[in-house]
């Protein structure tokens, strides 16, 4: 009976994907799918469902539930805690206006570029660079829609083109404080800084340039096709931005960069005697920002009230991202128990395509899920656990295999009209999400091809 379980797992996965597409809660869909797979695997005869070294409760009925407890403990004590701190730090930076101040300063040079289609690549690159300190696609889009969007329209960019640029700015997140990068690094047993320096930068920089250039041509094509003429109009940028952000001193823009600066300096690749953990760097940045904010405001109550944004942000990220990692890992355990993982690894080895073929297939699966669901996090967390065993089975470098898979989850997201970030920018620009998604397809598709080609040339 165990021989049919991989096919049962495929059927359960299809049903789960359908449920997510129909807007059922992703967390519960993955939990129920994982639970069903584990129960069916136990009935089929696989009684080895607990992690190695874990003690059984004495009955398989309780062991199924205990598996979820063990997974949650493992995740929250490792990758989960890092993501909690990252979410809290990002929320605090937004609360005190530091993230908004950085965005405001960075978009200001765009005023000096008068040709709208030459302006677009620079706007994309600036927005993409800001993803280093605002690792949430939706959060970054909201900041840019109240600061960059009116400036672009005021300089002659059509609203759909400006929205398309902003909607795709975080098509790759690779800073050490990004939850996606943290998850990728921990999955393959390395540090986020090492993953950034050894792998991500070599891919991300040239691919970002390719996407930026393509955006200029693609948006011009769609503007002409849709009969939209670019023309400068009077738009007052500051009228749509937070007045408190405009009043902040310029040095507030440095606060979001503190953890990144600490991590670049204090790691085993640079300062070998002092190695700073990612979460510690963000805690240090949070503390320094509190101290400076207190000295400026001289209001202890207000400063302490603002500092609580760190903990409220941790709570929000727990219910959204970290809990999703719990259920995605539980679902992955169900796939493992069903034998589907072993079947995929055997098929990859038998196909003769090796590392390259396996990477392309898994990237395509992740990208397809992201396209259907509009969620890069759900797509990546659902399948990222397959990378280490698959890399080992085909003799590949897990670092090289995980990059296209991570970037596929984020790069295909803007092409989905149901993605939260596309809905945000389309609503603010007063255009259809489908029209924005169409404008994203060519730059994102070309970017994904560039990632796969560069990954093959550089790392295989």
- Write down the pLDDT at residue 164: 94
Q: Rounded to an integer, what distance in angstroms lies between the CA atom of residue 96 and that of residue 244?
A: 9
- Write down the pLDDT at residue 414: 92
pLDDT tens-digit map of 92-122? 988 998 888 888 888 888 888 878 899 999 9
Share of the chain above pLDDT 90, in %: 27
- Is the pLDDT at 379 greater than 60? The verdict is yes
What are the two backbone dihedrals, phi and then psi, of residue 445, each rounded to the nearest 5 degrees?
A: -65, -45
Q: Rounded to an integer, what distance in angstroms lies between the CA atom of residue 13 and that of residue 34?
A: 9
Q: Rounded to an integer, what distance in angstroms lies between the CA atom of residue 226 and that of residue 112?
A: 27
- Write down the pLDDT at residue 350: 63
- State the DSSP string of 119-171: HHHHHHHHHHHHTTT---HHHHHHHHHTTHHHHHHHTT--HHHHHHHHHTTTS
Residue 411 pLDDT class (50, 70, 90 cuts): very high
- Write down the pLDDT at residue 451: 94
- Write down the pLDDT at residue 37: 92
More confident residue, 202 or 20: 202
- Is the pLDDT at 300 greater than 60? The verdict is yes
Average of per-residue pLDDT across 308-337: 84
Characterize 206-231 residue by residue with b for buried, 16 or more Cβ atoms within 10 angstroms of its Cβ, and e for exposed: ebbebbbbbbbebbbebbeeeeeebe
- Write down the pLDDT at residue 260: 78
- Is the pLDDT at 40 greater than 70? The verdict is yes
More confident residue, 257 or 439: 439
- Write down the pLDDT at residue 237: 40
> Residues 182, 278: contact at Cβ < 8 Å?
yes
Share of the chain above pLDDT 70, in %: 93
- Write down the pLDDT at residue 87: 82
- Is the pLDDT at 233 greater than 70? The verdict is no
Characterize 317-327 residue by residue with b for buried, 16 or more Cβ atoms within 10 angstroms of its Cβ, and e for exposed: bbebbbbbbbb
- Write down the pLDDT at residue 242: 64
- Write down the pLDDT at residue 231: 53
- Is the pLDDT at 234 greater than 60? The verdict is no
Average of per-residue pLDDT across 449-460: 90
- State the DSSP string of 313-363: HHHHHIIIIIHHHHHHHHHHHHHHHHTHHHHHHHHHHHHS-HHHHHHHHHH
More confident residue, 226 or 138: 226
Residue 346 pLDDT class (50, 70, 90 cuts): low
pLDDT tens-digit map of 174-197? 877 787 888 888 888 888 888 888
CA angle in degrees (0–180, nearest 5) for 94-100-105: 155
pLDDT tens-digit map of 62-72? 999 999 999 88
Q: Rounded to an integer, what distance in angstroms lies between the CA atom of residue 401 and that of residue 456?
A: 10
- Write down the pLDDT at residue 241: 55
Nearest of 129, 135, 128, 127 to residue 85 by alpha carbon: 135
> Residues 52, 404: contact at Cβ < 8 Å?
no
> In the numeric block, which tokens belong to residue 189?
């047993």
3-state secondary structure 70-129: HHHHHHHCCHHHHHHHHHHHHHHHHHCCHHHHHHHHHHHHHHHCCCHHHHHHHHHHHHHH
- Write down the pLDDT at residue 345: 63
- pTM to 2 decimals? 0.72
- Is the pLDDT at 235 greater than 50? The verdict is no
pLDDT tens-digit map of 210-219? 999 999 999 9
- Write down the pLDDT at residue 238: 39
Q: Rounded to an integer, what distance in angstroms lies between the CA atom of residue 161 and that of residue 179?
A: 28
Average of per-residue pLDDT across 170-174: 86
Residue 257 pLDDT class (50, 70, 90 cuts): confident
Helix (H) or strand (E) holding 265: helix 258-265
- When the pLDDT of each residue in the chain is averaged and rounded to a whole number, the result is 84
């Amino acid at each position: 009976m165990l021989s049919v379980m991989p096919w049962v797992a495929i059927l359960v996965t299809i049903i789960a994907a359908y449920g997510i597409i129909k807007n059922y809660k992703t967390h519960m869909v993955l939990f129920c799918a994982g639970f069903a797979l584990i129960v069916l695997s136990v009935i089929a005869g696989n009684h080895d469902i607990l992690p190695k070294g874990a003690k059984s409760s004495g009955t398989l009925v309780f062991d199924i539930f205990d598996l979820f407890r063990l997974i949650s403990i493992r995740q929250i004590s490792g990758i989960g805690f890092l993501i909690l701190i990252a979410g809290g730090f990002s929320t605090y930076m937004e609360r005190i206006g530091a993230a908004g101040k950085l965005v405001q300063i960075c978009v200001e040079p765009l005023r000096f570029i008068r040709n709208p289609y030459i302006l677009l690549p620079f706007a994309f690159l600036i927005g993409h660079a800001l993803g280093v300190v605002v690792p949430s696609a939706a959060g970054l889009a909201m900041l840019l829609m109240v600061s960059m969007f009116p400036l672009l329209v005021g300089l002659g960019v059509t609203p759909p083109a400006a929205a398309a640029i902003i909607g795709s700015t975080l098509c790759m997140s690779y800073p050490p404080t990004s939850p996606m990068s943290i998850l990728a690094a921990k999955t393959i047993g390395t540090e986020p800084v090492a993953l950034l320096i050894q792998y991500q930068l070599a891919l991300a920089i040239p691919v970002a340039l390719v996407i930026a250039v393509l955006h200029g041509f693609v948006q011009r094509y769609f503007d002409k096709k849709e009969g939209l003429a670019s023309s400068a109009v009077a738009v007052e940028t500051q009228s749509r931005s937070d007045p408190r952000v405009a009043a902040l001193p310029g040095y507030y823009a440095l606060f979001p960069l503190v953890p990144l600066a600490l991590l670049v300096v204090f790691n085993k690749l640079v300062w070998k005697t002092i190695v700073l953990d990612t979460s510690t760097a963000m805690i240090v940045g949070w503390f320094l920002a509190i101290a400076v904010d207190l000295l400026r405001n001289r209001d202890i109550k207000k400063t302490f009230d603002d500092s609580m944004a760190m903990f409220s942000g941790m709570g929000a990220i727990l219910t959204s991202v970290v809990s999703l990692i719990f259920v995605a890992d539980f679902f992955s355990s169900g796939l493992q128990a069903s034998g589907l993982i072993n079947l995929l690894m055997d098929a990859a080895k038998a196909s003769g395509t090796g590392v390259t073929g396996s990477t392309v297939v898994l990237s395509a699966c992740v990208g397809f899920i992201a396209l259907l669901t509009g969620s890069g996090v759900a797509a990546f967390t659902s399948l990222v656990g397959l990378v280490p065993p698959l890399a080992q089975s085909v003799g590949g470098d897990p670092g090289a295999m995980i990059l296209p898979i991570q970037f596929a989850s984020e790069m295909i997201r803007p092409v989905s009209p149901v993605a939260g970030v596309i809905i945000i920018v389309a609503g603010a620009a007063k255009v259809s999400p489908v029209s924005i998604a169409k404008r994203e397809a060519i730059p994102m598709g070309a970017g994904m091809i560039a990632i796969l080609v560069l990954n093959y040339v550089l790392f295989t």
